[in-house]
Amino acid sequence: MLNVVIFGPPGAGKGTQSKFLIEKYNLMHISTGDILRVEIAEKTQLGLKAQELISQGKLVPDEVVIGMIQSAILKNKEVAGFIFDGFPRTLFQAKALDRLLEENNLKVDKVLFLSVDKEELIKRLLLRGKESNRPDDQDENIIRNRLDVYFDNTFPLIEFYKEQNKVAEINGVGKIDTIKEDISKEIDEIK
Query: Which residues contribute to the site for ligand ADP (CB under 6 A)?
Result: 10-11, 32-33, 36, 53-54, 58-60, 65, 86-87, 89, 93, 136, 146
| Minimum CB distance to ligand ADP smaller for 135 or for 190 | 135
| Minimum CB distance to ligand ADP smaller for 110 or for 146 | 146
Q: Closest Cα to residue 111, out of 157, 79, 147, 146?
A: 157
Minimum distance from residue 52 beta carbon to ligand ADP (Å): 10
Q: Closest Cα to residue 20, out of 91, 83, 64?
A: 83
Task: Measure the CA–CA gap between 146 and 155, rounded to whole angstroms.
Answer: 12
Minimum distance from residue 108 beta carbon to ligand ADP (Å): 14
Task: Measure the CA–CA gap between 172 and 151, rounded to whole angstroms.
Answer: 16
- Report the residue number whose CB is nearest to ligand ADP: 33
Give the Cα-Cα-Cα angle 29, 148, 72 (nearest 5 degrees). 20
| Minimum CB distance to ligand ADP smaller for 53 or for 158 | 53
